[in-house]
Amino acid sequence: MWEKIKQRWPGVYPNGLILGIVLGGIAARCLFLSLFPHLGEEELMDTTRYLNVALNILTGRGFAEYIVGPTAFAPPVYPYFLAGVFKVFGYNMVHAKIVQAVIGGLTCWIIYRLGFHAFGTRIGLLAAAGAAIFPDLIILAGYLYSETVYIALLCLGFLSILKACKQPQKWRHWIVGGILLGLCILTRHVILLFPVLIMIVLFLFKSIRPHWKRLLVFTGICYLMIVPWTIRNYLYFHEFIPVAAGSGGTFWIGSNVEHQGEFRYSDTMQEIDEETGGVKVDIERDKILMERAIDNIADNPLQYAGVVAKKFIHYFIKIYEAVPHGQPRQLNVFVTIILALSYYPLLLMFVVGIVLSRRDYRCLIPLYGIVLYSGIIYALTVVVPRYRAPLLPFFIVFAAYGVYRLAEVWFSFKERRSHAQISTSVEESS
């Protein structure tokens, strides 16, 4: 098929195809927004926080969630992104969603480049096409969550890291990768520990070890990117907060073995009030919850380990049973079927792709690493299907490789069988 496309339309392959895929991805997301323009405008915890901060930035109150003063409970990149969109296009959530739809479509091009550098042009095109129509990625454009921007930055960052692993002698890949991963940390600080961990892992490989200076520069740039924000937090709150507070709350929820480490909406919020004794200062509440979390783990170490193992599995297999709206959801069969029929085949082919690509594992270590790292971090805290969304581009790249390799085996088998049938016919006729 690919050879026919190149022969018939030499000017289309691959640039014309990827342009069509990107435009198709943008169109799919805009179509979804036109059908559900007000999706995700309920009182959703993260959305409300981002909107409050963005509006305070626009009105000159600074990076504040409430009027009373600054906040440390939101990483800076996404609120400033929203503030910039509202500044240019006016305060309208639909405008922000359209911008996110465009970013989501352009991310398909980045995923193409990821697939290209990992496995070649054909896998890159398959991966980009999959990302353009994948339901979870389309739906994200309809919510004012940080994931759409974060996914674009994460894909760009790992594209540079992938190039650096294949050409470790080139400084620019390490430098650009460090800048982009630093921006990722400032968008979702869950990735805060990843740069130093991947540095340690990559240093174990002989092909990378001679370039240890570049590896150190990469890691240093990642953390240098967050230093101004860390200083800002210290000046305002007199606490060492690298990017954002809130880890104590999520860690406490994840340590609650009685509820299997699950967030239970208003019930959980009520329990947090009880645990913190009515303390109103957010940072103080977070510190109390961190202490309570450590106590929970010390009191029930074996049960906690079991809950973590269970959540690690849930992180990769759990899907939404209905559209998120900030409260417990009743089963929606249609939504469940759509998500299950798209995600579970992807997960299966991702595993196939991982197995079939094992010979190239040295260059793919960063991609393996972010998948494993994310699973562990969320297993220790709170598992929500949305938190898996940033991994979907990597799943899709490996799945595209798995599909392509299986298709090769299938067509090769058919060709051999056809040749065997022809040979048999010739022998019989002679």
The DSSP result for 60-113, as a single string, is: TS-S-SBTTB--SSS-SHHHHHHHHHHHHH-S-HHHHHHHHHHHHHHHHHHHHH
Say if residues 296 and 304 touch (Cβ distance below 8 Å). yes
Instruction: State residue 6's pLDDT score.
Output: 58
CB neighbour list of residue 230: distance below 8 Å, 6 or more residues apart: 240, 241, 242, 243
Q: Is the pLDDT of residue 68 over 80?
A: no
C-alpha torsion sign, points 416, 418, 420, 423: negative
Q: Is the pLDDT of residue 274 over 60?
A: yes
Instruction: State residue 409's pLDDT score.
Output: 86
Nearest Cα to 166, choosing from 363, 401, 373, 366? Answer: 363
In degrees to the nearest 10, what's the CA dihedral of 342, 21, 186, 391?
A: 30
Nearest Cα to 398, choosing from 368, 364, 354, 359? Answer: 354
Tell me the angle at which helices 282-299 and 247-255 cross, rounded to the nearest 10 degrees. 30
Query: Chain-wide mean pLDDT for the chain?
Result: 89
The stretch 30-53 carries a mean pLDDT of: 86
Coil, strand or helix at 172: helix
Say if residues 347 and 316 touch (Cβ distance below 8 Å). yes
The stretch 228-251 carries a mean pLDDT of: 93
Strand partners, 69: 66
Coil, strand or helix at 2: helix
Say if residues 212 and 169 touch (Cβ distance below 8 Å). no
C-alpha torsion sign, points 195, 201, 206, 210: positive
| CA 50 centroid distance within chain | 18
Phi, psi of 297 (to 5 degrees): -65, -40
HSE value, Cβ hemisphere, 13 Å, CA-based, for 264: 15
Instruction: State residue 80's pLDDT score.
Output: 97
C-alpha torsion sign, points 225, 227, 229, 230: positive
C-alpha torsion sign, points 397, 400, 401, 402: positive
C-alpha torsion sign, points 320, 324, 328, 332: negative
The stretch 179-199 carries a mean pLDDT of: 95
Nearest Cα to 349, choosing from 408, 314, 312, 398? Answer: 398
Least confident of 90-99, 201-210, 342-351: 201-210
CA-based angle 39:43:45, to the nearest 5? 110
Amino acid at 381: T
Phi, psi of 88 (to 5 degrees): -80, -45
Instruction: State residue 326's pLDDT score.
Output: 64
Say if residues 22 and 107 touch (Cβ distance below 8 Å). no
The stretch 122-129 carries a mean pLDDT of: 96
Q: Is the pLDDT of residue 204 over 90?
A: no
The stretch 22-38 carries a mean pLDDT of: 94
pLDDT bracket for residue 67 (50, 70, 90): confident
Q: Is the pLDDT of residue 262 over 70?
A: yes
Amino acid at 90: G
CB neighbour list of residue 219: distance below 8 Å, 6 or more residues apart: 178, 195, 196, 199
HSE value, Cβ hemisphere, 13 Å, CA-based, for 315: 26
The stretch 274-300 carries a mean pLDDT of: 85
pLDDT bracket for residue 430 (50, 70, 90): low
Percent of the chain whose predicted confidence (pLDDT) is above 90: 63
pLDDT bracket for residue 361 (50, 70, 90): confident
Strand partners, 66: 69
Say if residues 134 and 346 touch (Cβ distance below 8 Å). yes
Nearest Cα to 108, choosing from 367, 402, 400, 407? Answer: 400
Residue spans of the domains in the chain: they are 2-244+300-429
The pTM assigned to this predicted structure is: 0.92
